[in-house]
Structure 1
Amino acid sequence: MRTFDFTPFTRSAIGFDHLFELLNSQASESTENYPPYDIVRTGEDTFRINLAVAGFAPSDINIMAQQNLLVVSGRKTEQEKTEYLYQGISARAFERRFNLADYVEVENAAFENGLLQLNLARKVPEAMKPRRIEINAAIPLNEKRLGSIKAA
């Protein structure tokens, strides 16, 4: 697969190597589209991923959250051989990877009516949030200089 050359941007963008690698990897990923999914914004800092996993039981699905990565995989447990006349509901194994922004965490997961729902929230630590710095009234700069000159 063809990748884009980010060299001109990397000269002045320090610490963004991961972002450029992420963009290149997204371009080179296969066009696998199973299982289908939706990503929904449910609030300013909350999201939901809905995966259509019909035919799977909750015990057949594994959810692994790592830093900046969410991996959802499914594998059917072996059952007795069934003779299908037509099989339209896929039961093949899958693995879906979702790249998460910094401070996005999986809050919980639910399984209902063949949909796996993953609720995510961005939880920025207080130390990382922007804060307003108050300006204190101080001695004017000219008076400060005069005071140091008189003391000398």
Structure 2
Amino acid sequence: MRTNFDFTPYRRSTVGFDRLFDLLEATARAEAPDGHPPFDIERDSDDSYQITLAVAGFAPSDIEIVAQNNQLTVSGRKSDERDDGRFVHRGIATRAFERRFQLADFVQVQNASFDNGLLRIALKREIPEAMKPRRIEIAAAPAANDRIEAPAADKTAA
């Protein structure tokens, strides 16, 4: 079931969220209409994720994973295999596919593994030290009795 959501009212009343709305709209457009291949996204910890795609019928050499500009693209193309009439029924989908995932800032692909028809892609958010919050110490103000006053002898002379 696909639903289109209109972000226009939100665009009018917010400032600086254009990129977020563009990503949401692009994701809605790029979503595969038939849901092939199916996938799971798991959170392993606060900063660690794993995407698992069910790619039965594909070999690791048939699959390409590309991470670029906060976007992860997984595509698969089965090498030409001749069907010489030996299949009575062919239910394992081996058609070409492409899945796109929008990655948040500082999310990096760690590795990918292939086992029993499942492609697993490990992701980790690594925020640079310069971007992490840091505590700023507040310096104490000078004490009030540190002011310089005229000596008492000068006051009597006048």
- Asked if Structure 1 and Structure 2 have the same fold, meaning a TM-score greater than 0.5 normalized by the shorter chain, the answer is yes
The aligned counterpart of 1:89 is: 92
Identity over the aligned pairs, expressed in percent? 51
Unmatched runs of 5 consecutive residues or more in structure 2: 151-158
2:37 aligned to 35, 51, 55, which one? Answer: 35
Per mean C-alpha deviation after superposition, the further-off stretch among 74-83 and 89-98 is 74-83
Q: Does 1:110 align with 2:120?
A: no
Distance in 2 separating the partners of 1:76 and 1:36: 17
Unmatched runs of 5 consecutive residues or more in structure 1: none
Distance in 1 separating the partners of 2:30 and 2:135: 42
Q: Structure 1 length as normaliser, TM-score?
A: 0.84
Q: Structure 2 length as normaliser, TM-score?
A: 0.81
Change (3 A) 1:82 1:106: farther
Per mean C-alpha deviation after superposition, the further-off stretch among 24-33 and 66-75 is 24-33
Per mean C-alpha deviation after superposition, the further-off stretch among 40-49 and 23-32 is 23-32
Shift of residue 139, structure 1, vs aligned partner: 1.0
Equivalent residues of 2:27, 2:102 under 8 A apart: no
The aligned counterpart of 1:55 is: 57
Distance in 2 separating the partners of 1:109 and 1:28: 26
Per mean C-alpha deviation after superposition, the further-off stretch among 30-39 and 119-128 is 30-39
The aligned counterpart of 2:7 is: 4
The number of residues matched between the two structures is: 144
Distance in 2 separating the partners of 1:143 and 1:115: 74
Per mean C-alpha deviation after superposition, the further-off stretch among 97-106 and 76-85 is 76-85
